[in-house]
């Protein structure tokens, strides 16, 4: 399978990495410094009341001093280490293997694929395949760690850890295929090309619909090969469509 590579390479957000590193180092170093003040200097004993019969205010002050002395160093150190670990993970984490990458070895050169295509209306199509059948939109379902379903309602975990509503993935795939169909039909052509949709998931409980198939990642090559060929598609027209897809990357 031929792959259309995007000229825009994903870049690591340097500013976010620098800020995260500086904040993590400041917190971690601050925790170590506070620990040294507590354990290596007489600062705590100097601040805490040392009278035999302290008053109520002195008891409260002593409790605050010792509470801060015991909690602050460990808290700063742990939070700083956590921030640094997130920075390291963001730098070293490997992106998930896309479904088209897995299927490419089993498909011939008559198939052309592209990922993260931005349509003129602004919608991003995750995976688009051009083949003898026409066009196919493949929507990958996110990991179950960031996705949950309650009845007919779908939710995804946001960056802040909260669950937010998301559209039904099967319906989303169907609508994305309709958007691709409208984009393709917006140009003046003397032929019509079919656009198919499929949701790629390992969840066996998700049912297919008349407008969207549901396939497992390992079933993608077989599903693409089973689609009926289009009589309207020839070599010249396929090359023209490839140029139009490339222009969207």
What CATH number labels 96-248? 3.40.1350
Three-state SS for 195-241 is: EEEEEECCCCCCCCECCEEEECHHHHHHHHHHCCCCCCCCHHHHHHH
pTM of the model: 0.65
- Listed by start position, the domains of the chain span 14-92, 96-248
Which pLDDT tens digit goes with each residue over 20-70?
Answer: 889 989 999 988 988 888 888 887 777 666 666 777 777 777 778 778 888
Looking at residue 110, what is its pLDDT?
Answer: 87
| pLDDT for 97 beyond 60 | no
């Amino acid at each position: 399978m031929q792959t259309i590579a995007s000229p825009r390479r994903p870049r690591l957000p340097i500013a976010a990495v620098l800020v995260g590193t500086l904040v993590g180092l400041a917190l971690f170093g601050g925790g170590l410094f506070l620990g040294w003040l507590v354990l290596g200097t007489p600062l705590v004993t100097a601040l805490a009341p040392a009278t035999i019969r302290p008053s109520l205010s002195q008891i409260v002050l002593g409790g605050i001093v010792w509470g801060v002395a015991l909690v602050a160093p460990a808290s700063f150190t742990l939070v700083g280490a956590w921030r640094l670990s997130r920075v390291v993970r963001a730098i070293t984490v490997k992106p998930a293997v896309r479904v088209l990458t897995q299927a490419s070895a089993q498909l011939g050169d008559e198939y052309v694929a592209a990922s993260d295509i931005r349509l003129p209306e602004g919608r991003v199509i995750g995976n688009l395949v051009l083949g003898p059948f026409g066009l196919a939109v493949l929507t990958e379902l996110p990991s179950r760690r960031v996705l949950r379903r309650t009845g007919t309602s779908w939710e995804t975990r946001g960056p802040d850890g909260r669950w937010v509503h998301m559209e039904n993935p099967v319906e989303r795939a169907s609508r994305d295929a309709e958007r691709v169909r409208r984009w393709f039909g917006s140009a003046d052509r003397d032929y019509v090309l079919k656009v198919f949709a499929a949701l790629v998931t390992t969840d066996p409980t998700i049912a297919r619909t008349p407008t969207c198939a549901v396939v497992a990642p390992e079933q993608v090559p077989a599903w693409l090969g089973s689609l009926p060929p289009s009589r309207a598609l020839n070599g010249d027209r396929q090359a023209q469509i490839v140029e139009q897809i490339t222009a969207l990357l």
